[in-house]
Chains A and B, each alone.
Chain A
Amino acid sequence: MGTLENQIVRITSRLVAPFIQVYGIYVIIHGHLSPGGGFSGGAIFGASLVLVALSFNLEVGAKQISHDTASILESGGALGFVITGLVAIALGANFLANQSAGFPMGQTGQLFSAGAIFIITFFLGIKVASTIVTLFYNIIEGEDKSGDAH
Protein backbone atom coordinates (compact mmCIF):
# COMPACT_ATOMS: atom_id res chain seq x y z
CA MET A 1 0.00 0.00 0.00
CA GLY A 2 2.89 2.38 0.69
CA THR A 3 3.70 3.02 -2.95
CA LEU A 4 5.09 6.21 -4.46
CA GLU A 5 1.78 7.09 -6.12
CA ASN A 6 0.08 6.79 -2.76
CA GLN A 7 2.62 9.19 -1.24
CA ILE A 8 2.06 11.76 -4.01
CA VAL A 9 -1.71 11.66 -3.54
CA ARG A 10 -1.44 11.95 0.23
CA ILE A 11 1.06 14.82 0.29
CA THR A 12 -0.83 16.74 -2.42
CA SER A 13 -4.21 16.39 -0.73
CA ARG A 14 -2.71 17.31 2.66
CA LEU A 15 -1.19 20.47 1.15
CA VAL A 16 -4.29 21.45 -0.82
CA ALA A 17 -7.01 20.67 1.74
CA PRO A 18 -6.50 23.74 4.02
CA PHE A 19 -6.70 26.10 1.05
CA ILE A 20 -9.90 24.44 -0.16
CA GLN A 21 -11.36 24.77 3.33
CA VAL A 22 -10.47 28.46 3.59
CA TYR A 23 -11.99 29.04 0.16
CA GLY A 24 -15.16 27.19 1.19
CA ILE A 25 -15.52 29.32 4.33
CA TYR A 26 -14.89 32.44 2.23
CA VAL A 27 -17.66 31.49 -0.19
CA ILE A 28 -20.04 30.74 2.68
CA ILE A 29 -19.56 33.99 4.63
CA HIS A 30 -19.58 36.11 1.45
CA GLY A 31 -22.77 34.42 0.26
CA HIS A 32 -24.81 37.63 0.23
CA LEU A 33 -22.13 39.70 -1.53
CA SER A 34 -20.58 37.57 -4.25
CA PRO A 35 -21.57 34.56 -6.41
CA GLY A 36 -21.97 31.39 -4.45
CA GLY A 37 -23.45 31.01 -1.01
CA GLY A 38 -24.32 28.34 1.47
CA PHE A 39 -24.75 25.54 -1.04
CA SER A 40 -21.61 26.20 -3.12
CA GLY A 41 -19.40 26.92 -0.14
CA GLY A 42 -20.70 23.93 1.79
CA ALA A 43 -20.04 21.68 -1.19
CA ILE A 44 -16.46 22.99 -1.47
CA PHE A 45 -15.85 22.57 2.27
CA GLY A 46 -17.37 19.08 2.37
CA ALA A 47 -15.34 18.03 -0.67
CA SER A 48 -12.09 18.93 1.12
CA LEU A 49 -13.06 16.80 4.14
CA VAL A 50 -13.97 13.87 1.88
CA LEU A 51 -10.70 14.34 -0.07
CA VAL A 52 -8.58 13.90 3.06
CA ALA A 53 -10.64 10.92 4.27
CA LEU A 54 -10.37 9.25 0.84
CA SER A 55 -6.64 9.85 0.21
CA PHE A 56 -5.58 8.77 3.71
CA ASN A 57 -7.89 6.34 5.46
CA LEU A 58 -11.06 6.41 7.48
CA GLU A 59 -9.26 6.83 10.81
CA VAL A 60 -7.63 10.09 9.68
CA GLY A 61 -10.95 11.21 8.22
CA ALA A 62 -12.78 10.38 11.45
CA LYS A 63 -10.18 12.44 13.36
CA GLN A 64 -11.34 15.47 11.36
CA ILE A 65 -15.05 14.79 11.46
CA SER A 66 -16.61 11.48 12.41
CA HIS A 67 -19.81 9.96 11.05
CA ASP A 68 -21.78 10.77 14.20
CA THR A 69 -20.47 14.36 14.34
CA ALA A 70 -21.42 14.84 10.70
CA SER A 71 -24.93 13.52 11.37
CA ILE A 72 -25.35 15.84 14.37
CA LEU A 73 -24.09 18.85 12.37
CA GLU A 74 -26.41 17.95 9.52
CA SER A 75 -29.44 17.99 11.80
CA GLY A 76 -28.11 21.06 13.60
CA GLY A 77 -27.77 23.02 10.36
CA ALA A 78 -31.37 22.31 9.40
CA LEU A 79 -32.46 23.14 12.97
CA GLY A 80 -30.61 26.46 12.90
CA PHE A 81 -32.25 27.33 9.59
CA VAL A 82 -35.72 26.65 11.02
CA ILE A 83 -34.94 28.48 14.29
CA THR A 84 -33.82 31.55 12.32
CA GLY A 85 -37.17 31.44 10.53
CA LEU A 86 -39.03 31.05 13.83
CA VAL A 87 -37.15 33.98 15.39
CA ALA A 88 -38.63 36.11 12.62
CA ILE A 89 -42.09 34.87 13.63
CA ALA A 90 -41.33 35.63 17.29
CA LEU A 91 -40.35 39.17 16.27
CA GLY A 92 -43.76 39.58 14.69
CA ALA A 93 -43.23 39.00 10.97
CA ASN A 94 -43.60 36.11 8.52
CA PHE A 95 -41.50 32.91 8.54
CA LEU A 96 -37.91 33.71 7.41
CA ALA A 97 -38.74 37.41 7.13
CA ASN A 98 -35.62 39.57 7.08
CA GLN A 99 -35.93 43.36 7.24
CA SER A 100 -39.56 43.46 8.33
CA ALA A 101 -38.65 41.30 11.34
CA GLY A 102 -36.09 43.87 12.45
CA PHE A 103 -32.80 42.08 11.72
CA PRO A 104 -29.97 44.66 11.49
CA MET A 105 -29.30 45.49 7.85
CA GLY A 106 -25.87 47.09 8.15
CA GLN A 107 -24.06 48.88 5.34
CA THR A 108 -24.60 47.53 1.84
CA GLY A 109 -21.43 45.87 0.53
CA GLN A 110 -19.91 45.21 3.93
CA LEU A 111 -19.41 41.70 5.29
CA PHE A 112 -21.85 41.91 8.22
CA SER A 113 -24.89 43.12 6.37
CA ALA A 114 -28.15 41.69 4.99
CA GLY A 115 -29.44 40.62 8.40
CA ALA A 116 -30.81 37.09 8.51
CA ILE A 117 -29.37 36.10 5.11
CA PHE A 118 -25.93 35.93 6.71
CA ILE A 119 -27.13 33.55 9.45
CA ILE A 120 -29.22 31.44 7.07
CA THR A 121 -26.31 31.05 4.63
CA PHE A 122 -24.02 30.02 7.47
CA PHE A 123 -26.38 27.27 8.68
CA LEU A 124 -26.99 26.17 5.08
CA GLY A 125 -23.24 25.82 4.57
CA ILE A 126 -22.89 23.65 7.69
CA LYS A 127 -25.84 21.53 6.54
CA VAL A 128 -24.50 20.94 3.00
CA ALA A 129 -20.91 20.25 4.09
CA SER A 130 -21.93 17.68 6.70
CA THR A 131 -24.46 16.13 4.29
CA ILE A 132 -21.66 15.44 1.79
CA VAL A 133 -19.46 13.94 4.51
CA THR A 134 -22.37 11.76 5.69
CA LEU A 135 -23.00 10.67 2.09
CA PHE A 136 -19.36 9.60 1.78
CA TYR A 137 -19.37 7.66 5.05
CA ASN A 138 -22.63 5.94 4.09
CA ILE A 139 -21.08 4.78 0.80
CA ILE A 140 -17.81 3.63 2.40
CA GLU A 141 -19.16 1.77 5.43
CA GLY A 142 -22.66 1.10 4.10
CA GLU A 143 -22.79 -2.69 4.33
CA ASP A 144 -20.75 -3.05 7.50
CA LYS A 145 -23.06 -1.29 9.94
CA SER A 146 -26.37 -1.43 8.12
CA GLY A 147 -27.87 -3.08 11.20
CA ASP A 148 -27.56 -0.16 13.61
CA ALA A 149 -27.38 2.71 11.13
CA HIS A 150 -31.03 2.58 10.18
Chain B
Amino acid sequence: MMTGVLTEILNGLLLLFLVVCAIAVAQIRDMLSAVIVFASFGLIMAIVWQQLSSPDVAMVEAALGTGVTTLLLIAAISKTRRTE
Protein backbone atom coordinates (compact mmCIF):
# COMPACT_ATOMS: atom_id res chain seq x y z
CA MET B 1 0.00 0.00 0.00
CA MET B 2 2.71 2.40 1.07
CA THR B 3 4.99 1.50 -1.82
CA GLY B 4 2.11 2.10 -4.24
CA VAL B 5 1.70 5.65 -2.95
CA LEU B 6 5.44 6.25 -3.14
CA THR B 7 5.50 4.97 -6.73
CA GLU B 8 2.69 7.35 -7.64
CA ILE B 9 4.59 10.26 -6.06
CA LEU B 10 7.74 9.28 -7.98
CA ASN B 11 5.83 9.06 -11.25
CA GLY B 12 4.22 12.45 -10.62
CA LEU B 13 7.59 14.06 -9.89
CA LEU B 14 9.08 12.51 -13.03
CA LEU B 15 6.24 13.78 -15.20
CA LEU B 16 6.48 17.24 -13.60
CA PHE B 17 10.22 17.34 -14.32
CA LEU B 18 9.46 16.22 -17.88
CA VAL B 19 7.13 19.19 -18.42
CA VAL B 20 9.64 21.59 -16.85
CA CYS B 21 12.40 20.27 -19.13
CA ALA B 22 10.20 20.53 -22.22
CA ILE B 23 9.32 24.17 -21.49
CA ALA B 24 12.95 24.98 -20.63
CA VAL B 25 14.21 23.57 -23.94
CA ALA B 26 11.88 25.91 -25.81
CA GLN B 27 12.78 28.93 -23.65
CA ILE B 28 16.57 28.68 -23.34
CA ARG B 29 18.43 30.90 -25.86
CA ASP B 30 21.83 29.22 -25.50
CA MET B 31 21.86 26.27 -27.89
CA LEU B 32 24.36 24.12 -25.95
CA SER B 33 22.37 24.50 -22.73
CA ALA B 34 19.17 23.63 -24.59
CA VAL B 35 20.78 20.47 -25.95
CA ILE B 36 21.91 19.40 -22.47
CA VAL B 37 18.44 20.06 -21.01
CA PHE B 38 17.01 18.04 -23.91
CA ALA B 39 19.35 15.19 -22.94
CA SER B 40 18.01 15.28 -19.39
CA PHE B 41 14.49 15.25 -20.88
CA GLY B 42 15.39 12.04 -22.69
CA LEU B 43 16.87 10.53 -19.52
CA ILE B 44 13.70 11.25 -17.50
CA MET B 45 11.62 9.95 -20.40
CA ALA B 46 13.60 6.69 -20.29
CA ILE B 47 12.83 6.28 -16.58
CA VAL B 48 9.14 7.00 -17.31
CA TRP B 49 9.12 4.28 -19.99
CA GLN B 50 10.68 1.92 -17.45
CA GLN B 51 7.95 2.84 -14.94
CA LEU B 52 5.36 2.07 -17.63
CA SER B 53 6.96 -1.43 -17.72
CA SER B 54 8.40 -1.25 -21.23
CA PRO B 55 12.17 -1.69 -20.71
CA ASP B 56 12.73 -2.20 -24.43
CA VAL B 57 11.50 1.29 -25.29
CA ALA B 58 13.36 2.70 -22.29
CA MET B 59 16.63 1.29 -23.60
CA VAL B 60 16.07 2.77 -27.06
CA GLU B 61 15.10 6.12 -25.53
CA ALA B 62 18.21 6.18 -23.34
CA ALA B 63 20.48 5.27 -26.26
CA LEU B 64 18.91 7.36 -29.01
CA GLY B 65 17.09 10.17 -27.21
CA THR B 66 19.84 10.86 -24.70
CA GLY B 67 22.98 9.64 -26.40
CA VAL B 68 22.87 9.89 -30.17
CA THR B 69 20.55 12.91 -30.44
CA THR B 70 22.76 14.90 -28.06
CA LEU B 71 25.93 13.95 -29.90
CA LEU B 72 24.47 14.81 -33.32
CA LEU B 73 23.07 18.13 -32.07
CA ILE B 74 26.43 19.05 -30.50
CA ALA B 75 28.07 18.19 -33.84
CA ALA B 76 25.55 20.47 -35.55
CA ILE B 77 26.27 23.27 -33.04
CA SER B 78 30.01 22.92 -33.63
CA LYS B 79 29.35 23.56 -37.33
CA THR B 80 27.07 26.58 -36.71
CA ARG B 81 26.58 29.34 -34.12
CA ARG B 82 26.04 28.65 -30.42
CA THR B 83 23.56 31.43 -29.68
CA GLU B 84 20.21 31.84 -31.36
- Chain A contacts to B: CB under 8 angstroms: 27, 35-37, 39-40, 43-44, 46-47, 50-51, 54, 132, 135-136, 139-140, 142
Q: For B8, what are the chain A residues with a Cβ–Cβ distance below 8 Å?
A: none
B75 in contact with A140 (CB, 8 Å): yes
B76 in contact with A139 (CB, 8 Å): yes
Residue pairs across A and B with CB atoms within 8 Å: the count is 48
Q: How long is the Cα–Cα vector from A27 to B68 in the complex, in angstroms? A: 16
Q: For A135, what are the chain B residues with a Cβ–Cβ distance below 8 Å?
A: 72
User: Contacts A132-B68, A136-B71, A136-B75 given; 17 further ones with Cβ under 8 A?
Assistant: A27-B59, A35-B55, A35-B56, A35-B58, A36-B59, A36-B60, A40-B63, A43-B60, A44-B67, A46-B68, A50-B75, A54-B75, A139-B72, A139-B75, A139-B79, A140-B79, A142-B79
* Chain B interface main SS type: helix
Q: Is B37 an interface residue (CB 8 A)?
A: no
* Chain A interface main SS type: helix
Q: For A44, what are the chain B residues with a Cβ–Cβ distance below 8 Å?
A: 63, 67
Report which of A35, A39, A50, A142 forms a contact with B71, defined as CB distance below 8 A: A50
Q: Is B47 an interface residue (CB 8 A)?
A: no
A43 in contact with B56 (CB, 8 Å): no
Q: For A50, what are the chain B residues with a Cβ–Cβ distance below 8 Å?
A: 68, 71-72, 75
- Mark contacts of B19-44 with chain A using CB atoms, 8 A cut-off: 1 yes-contact digit, 0 otherwise: 00000000000000000000000000
Q: For B79, what are the chain A residues with a Cβ–Cβ distance below 8 Å?
A: 139-140, 142
Q: For A54, what are the chain B residues with a Cβ–Cβ distance below 8 Å?
A: 71, 74-75
Q: Could you tell me which residues of chain B, from 48 to 68, have a CB within 8 Å of some CB in chain A?
A: 55-56, 58-60, 63-64, 67-68
Taking the nearest CB of chain A, how far is it from the CB of B80, in angstroms?
Answer: 11
A47 in contact with B68 (CB, 8 Å): yes
* A43 with B63, Cβ < 8 A, contacts A35-B55, A37-B56, A139-B79 known: yes
Q: For A140, what are the chain B residues with a Cβ–Cβ distance below 8 Å?
A: 75, 79
